Amino acid sequence: EVQLVESGGGLVQPGGSLRLSCAASGFTFSSYSMNWVRQAPGKGLEWVSYISSSSSTIYYADSVKGRFTISRDNAKNSLYLQMNSLRDEDTAVYYCARDRRRSSSNWFDPWGQGTLVTVSS
Amino acid sequence: DIQMTQSPSSLSASVGDRVTITCRASQSISSYLNWYQQKPGEAPKVLIYAASSLQSGVPSRFSGSGSRTDFTLTINNLQPEDSATYYCQQRGTFGQGTKVEIK
């Protein structure tokens, strides 16, 4: 069974840092690009970051560029999101999601269960 | 950046109804449009990818259509378990969501 399990969320003060992890199983992790998507409480979905299978291509949403860093360890079947200089507006459930692609179309499947990050003093 | 506009933002329908949700792109995106369902407290799951391809395991009452700028998600024979929020997505952009409630 394809499974993604996030961890590392919690309460952090504004300006603080947090590192999220996503453990993958049930598929060949090293063959797939991965994403982080977040959802603020009661709000919609916001894509955060993308990393290709070999880590050669990385993208960020403008809202997190320069503060967040995506990375992966294919030997450990793990995806990471290092979040620095956290702001109140970064409060959200963070999901990791596998990237699926057909020609120029991409979608996210599956998603993990999410980990809650709360930025508050 | 391409903007995705969903409508309506919410709707209420009865079991057995046909429900239509639309997603409009600010410029042509060919058929690069996907639909997700999210139930409260759960992660989203993909229903339709590439505008009209049904994800494996998704009931056939769900269908997608459209191309270029205008897309539609249709739910035929609405069921109680279809109560959820539905999102369209194109690359790194999601629509704002449509909440479907059962009368």
B90: closest CA among B4, B28, B21? B4
% pLDDT > 70, chain B: 100
The pLDDT value given to residue A103: 82
Residue B57: pLDDT band with limits 50, 70, 90: very high
B45·A102 Cβ contact <8 A: no
Instruction: Report chain A's C-alpha Rg in angstroms.
Output: 14
- Can you tell me which residue has the tokens 């690069």? B32
Quickly count: other Cβ atoms within 10 Å of residue B103's Cβ. 8
Token digits for A46? 């916001």
The pLDDT value given to residue A27: 97
Span A81-94, mean pLDDT?
98
The pLDDT value given to residue B79: 98
The CA–CA distances, whole Å, from B49 to A48, B11, B17, B34 equal: 20, 23, 23, 4
For the cut 90, the answer to whether the pLDDT of residue A107 exceeds it is yes
A111·B32 Cβ contact <8 A: no
The CA–CA distances, whole Å, from A111 to A4, A25, A96, A107, B6 equal: 7, 12, 6, 11, 22
Closest CA of chain A from B4, distance in Å: 12
B87·A47 Cβ contact <8 A: no
Closest CA of chain A from B70, distance in Å: 16
A109·B55 Cβ contact <8 A: yes
Span B54-65, mean pLDDT?
97
Partner residues linked to A4 by β-bridges: A24
Span A80-107, mean pLDDT?
95
The pLDDT value given to residue A102: 86
The pLDDT value given to residue B15: 98
For the cut 90, the answer to whether the pLDDT of residue A104 exceeds it is no
Instruction: Give me the amino acid identity at A37.
Output: V
Chain A residues with CB-CB distance to B25 below 8 A: none
Span B16-33, mean pLDDT?
96
